[in-house]
Structure 1
Amino acid sequence: MFTLLKKLNHSSLIKNNKKRSALAALVATTTLLAGCGDNNGDDGVVTDQVYRYQVTVTNLTHNQPLSPVTHLIHGSDYQAWSIGSMASEALEQLAESGDNSAVLDNAMITESQASEGVVMPGLSYQTTLELSDKDHYLTILSMLVNTNDAFTGLNKHALTNYSVGDKTLLSLRVYDAGTESNSELQATIPGPAGQGEGFNVQRDDTDFVSMHPGVVSMDDGLSTSVLNESHRIESVVAQVVIERLQ
């Protein structure tokens, strides 16, 4: 009996020593691995860099609701519009009806956000964009819904040089997509002033993007216009504030 117990005790001792050796090796390995990391955080955990921007768009018009304000993040190869060039079908749809679905569906867009509904005059849409690197561009698009094909936006604005705390205020001008005649007829104005047709595949205007000439309205002699003086627009219709938070 004593011999058996002695053997058992000896066997247990060997097992315990093996466990202690294995545990010591595990601790040593864990310590070694912990010391090999890139200590970007206080606890040694490697974290991805996040670039966070706050973007606020304010409608400066008197009576022109903005269609869902759309923010697009993309690289240097994408450009939503160019003065003097033909509007893409995606831009045509947005400028004539406020529909941003084709714009958002572009494969060159890496990130996007849009307001849930229209942004009324005097109100703002604010959102936060989080990016994994800062080598991106920001484009903003929105239709002035009480027009035929007027839109506003920010075209390919570089975010590369923003440092934390940097803030930029920019004026957003109004453009004419050139895809629909500025007839101001009730049947052709999709906004509340007309509640007419939105997108139409037929192009009956200049077929190139230009600065918008403005709204004439019934109050200034265009008797067939459904628009009045309150729908007139200046060259600047909105403003955007971009601030890097992180």
Structure 2
Amino acid sequence: MRKQARQFKKVGTFLVVCLLLASLGGCGNQDDIYPPNAVYRVTVANLTFNQYFPTVAVIMHTGGYQAWEVGQPASEEIERLAEGGQVVPGANSGAGKWLLTEAVKNPAVVLTRLTLDPYSGLATGILGGGRAQVDLSVPPGGDYRLTVATSLTFTNDGFTGVTDLAIAQLQPGESLSQYVNAYDAGTEANTETEMTVPGFVAFAADANGSLVTDAQGNYIQSKGFGYDPVRDDVNDLITIHAGVVTADQPLGDEPDPVALPEAYAAYLAKKQIKDQSALNETHRFLQPVAKLIVERIS
């Protein structure tokens, strides 16, 4: 009995000491077994004057996923995003499979999110001069990379973002920032008309002003059509965007068609776009068009 009592006393003493040490961080605790998640805050700022960014797709992944590559044809997901601003089913102009819903099929993708309004917490697009953000919580220690993408709605098939950006090197309290260019998806001719630029989206109405729907209950668009599966751009390759042609834009002097036939042909092509362009000077943009900030919160 005395021996057993001494054993209980030793166990009790150990528990008391361990509890005291635990309060000071000395004993092993659950955080040692299950370390807290790494939290990254992704902020996207729109640097343009009047190019609206629809809801921004944010994809956290490891190696093995790349959404696009300059000089290569765009995937259908990028084509849909660039032409119509579509990143999730039901958002921004219709339903279907786009960037996020296709991304999650890739085993390298860890999670997908949309940027949120920092005040309301709701998924939001970004007006010129504005910004939006989202926090991503993932298990620590992964070789994490980031893909961020959105479209420029007052273009035919312009988009912006980064893909396969390494962020695993960031320690808590550290951040990185990157200025981001606009890209041309190369999937739709840059006609700049109100019929083909999604920023001018409008819907058909009856004589009473009520919106008209089709047999499936979908509103019928009258202009600002987005995604078209037919690719009519002669390049069909992703390139750095050359900018838009507006109705207000001066053309400069007309080149001599005999002495400078190539320059004259380019002049005529630009004049044709200018004559039909629905864009004005507020829609023009210079590179870069966005700023991306990634902060490691914890």
Structure 2 length-normalised TM: 0.68
2:224 equivalent in structure 1: 196
Bigger-Rg structure (1/2): 1
Contact 1:146–1:193, Cα closer than 8 Å, also in 2? no
Contact 2:149–2:160, Cα closer than 8 Å, also in 1? yes
SS of 2:276's equivalent in the other structure is: coil
Contact 2:201–2:225, Cα closer than 8 Å, also in 1? no
RMSD of the alignment, in Å? 2.7
Alignment of 1:71-86 (within 5 A): 71-86=58-73
User: Which residue identity is paired with 1:208?
Assistant: L
Does 2:57 match 1:70?
yes
Does 2:56 match 1:46?
no
Deviation at residue 118 of structure 1 after TM alignment: 1.7
Query: For the structure 1 residues 100 and 42, does the alpha-carbon distance in structure 2 shift closer, same or farther, using more than 3 Å as the test?
Result: farther
Provide runs of 4+ in structure 1 moved above 3 Å.
Answer: 41-44, 192-195
Contact 1:175–1:211, Cα closer than 8 Å, also in 2? yes
Contact 1:143–1:151, Cα closer than 8 Å, also in 2? yes
SS of 1:90's equivalent in the other structure is: helix
Alignment of 1:103-114 (within 5 A): 103-105=99-101, 106=103, 107-108=105-106, 109-114=109-114
2:86 equivalent in structure 1: 99
2:239 equivalent in structure 1: 210
Alignment of 1:1-246 (within 5 A): 44-47=28-31, 48-101=35-88, 102-105=98-101, 106=103, 107-108=105-106, 109-115=109-115, 116-133=123-140, 134-192=142-200, 196-205=224-233, 206-220=235-249, 221=271, 222-246=274-298
Deviation at residue 219 of structure 1 after TM alignment: 0.9
Point out where structure 2 has 5 or more consecutive residues left out of the alignment. Answer: 89-97, 116-122, 203-222, 250-270
1:10 equivalent in structure 2: none
SS of 1:242's equivalent in the other structure is: strand
Distance in 2 (CA, whole Å) between partners of 1:144 and 1:42 is 54
Distance in 1 (CA, whole Å) between partners of 2:198 and 2:169 is 39
Point out where structure 1 has 5 or more consecutive residues left out of the alignment. Answer: 1-16
Query: For the structure 1 residues 219 and 42, does the alpha-carbon distance in structure 2 shift closer, same or farther, using more than 3 Å as the test?
Result: farther
SS of 1:94's equivalent in the other structure is: helix
Distance in 2 (CA, whole Å) between partners of 1:176 and 1:54 is 27
Distance in 1 (CA, whole Å) between partners of 2:110 and 2:184 is 26
Distance in 2 (CA, whole Å) between partners of 1:217 and 1:44 is 65
Distance in 2 (CA, whole Å) between partners of 1:123 and 1:90 is 25
SS of 1:73's equivalent in the other structure is: strand
Deviation at residue 164 of structure 1 after TM alignment: 1.5
Structure 1 length-normalised TM: 0.81
Deviation at residue 43 of structure 1 after TM alignment: 6.7
Distance in 2 (CA, whole Å) between partners of 1:97 and 1:42 is 56
Deviation at residue 192 of structure 1 after TM alignment: 3.8
Q: Percent identity?
A: 35
Distance in 2 (CA, whole Å) between partners of 1:229 and 1:43 is 65
Contact 2:74–2:186, Cα closer than 8 Å, also in 1? yes
User: Which residue identity is paired with 2:183?
Assistant: Y
